[in-house]
A = this chain, B = another copy of it.
Amino acid sequence: MLVSRSDSAYHHGSLKPALEDAALDLMRTTGHTELSLREVARVAGVSHNAPYHHFGDRTALLKRLSERSMAELLDSLTRAQADLAPTDSPRAHLVAVGAAYIEYAARYPERFRIIYDPAVCVPGSPSAEMAPLIAAVEDILARVTSATIPTASRETVVALTTGVWGAVHGLAELVVAGHITLDETRPALAALLDPSADRGI
C-alpha cells in the first residue's frame, strides 16, 4: 500500500510527508535556521536516523520545505488573480497580486523566509522542482505588470516587472522582519504603483 500506515509500527508507511509536516510545524516557532533534524524525527515518532532514508541531508529537507512553500506562494498569487473579474482594471489586478504576495509572507513568515534563503536555494542552479515555480511567479508578476502599461516598450515592462517584484518582496521582508506592519504596506504599495497619485510633478 502506498499511503496508509502499516499496522506494524516498524514501517511508518508515509514518513516523508509526515516529516515535512512536522518540520513545517516546528518551523512555526523556531524558524528554519534553528530547525533540528532530530527534533523533527522525534515529533514524527521515529528514530533520529529515519529521515536520512528520505532526505539525504538536513539541507535536502529544507530545500523540500522551500519548494512546498514556494508552491503555496504561487497558489496564493494565482488565486488572488482568479478572484478578480476580468473587467476589473489592470491596476487592481496588479495591486491584488502584490497584496497577496505580502499577505502570504505575513501569514507564514518562516515559510516565506526559507524560500529566499540563499543557503537553501541557490537561484543560479535551482532544483528541478523549484525552477518552474520561480518562473511561474515571475510570469504572473510580468503579466499583471505589463497589463497596466500596454503601450510601454519592452525594456520598460521588464524593468517595471523587476521593480514590482522588488517592491512587494521588500515590503513583505520588512513586515516579516518586524519593521513595518501589514497595514502600512497597502498605502505604500498604492503610492508606489499608482502614477496618477499626487507626486508633485
Contact = CB atoms under 8 A, between A and B. Distances in A.
Total copies of this chain within the assembly: 2
Interface stretch (A2-10, A13-21, A46-54, A164-172): A164-172
Contact of A167 (B119, B176, B192): B192
Interface stretch (A37-45, A71-79, A182-190): A182-190
Which of A122, A148, A195 has the largest number of chain B CB atoms within 10 A? Answer: A195
Interface residues of A, number: 56
A196 B174 CA distance: 27
A33 interface: yes
B166 A185 contact: yes
A149 interface: yes
B162 A198 contact: no
A201 B90 CA distance: 11
Contacts of A164: 192
7 contacts: A149-B199, A153-B198, A158-B187, A160-B192, A162-B188, A170-B172, A170-B173
Interface of A: 31, 33-34, 109, 116-119, 122-124, 134, 148-153, 155-156, 158-160, 162-174, 176-180, 184-185, 187-192, 195-201
